[in-house]
Amino acid sequence: DIQMTQSPSSLSASVGDRVTITCRASQSISSYLNWYQQKPGKAPKLLIYAASSLQSGVPSRFSGSGSGTDFTLTISSLQPEDFATYYCQQSYSTFTFGPGTKVDIK
């Protein structure tokens, strides 16, 4: 099984901050990596697929990069609606989610 880790597990940030979340796979997964956002009481929402492709309708302040085992999700200027938990997910071998990174207000 492919294991996914994320760091940090949580972070506090202010509106306007640049935020970076890291995801690491236990083996190379090429670019088979997706990012989701989940707000409390809501279903997850797809943000980024194939490591760096922005899902339709997602603001351009979200971006993804990386390949192999190391990936990042960047929010260029944090907005109030971005406070949420973010999950990475590999699709190289069925699916595995990372443990999540909670972004809250500083």
Interaction site with another protein (CB under 8 A)? 1, 31-32, 34, 36, 38, 43-46, 49-50, 55, 87, 89, 91-92, 94-100
Backbone angles phi, psi at 60, to 5 degrees: -70, -5
Amino acid at 43: A
Alpha-carbon torsion (6, 68, 74, 60), positive or negative: negative
Min separation Cβ 63 and another protein, Å = 16
User: 59 or 77: whose CB is closer to another protein?
Assistant: 59
Q: Which is nearer to another protein, 17 or 65 (CB)?
A: 65
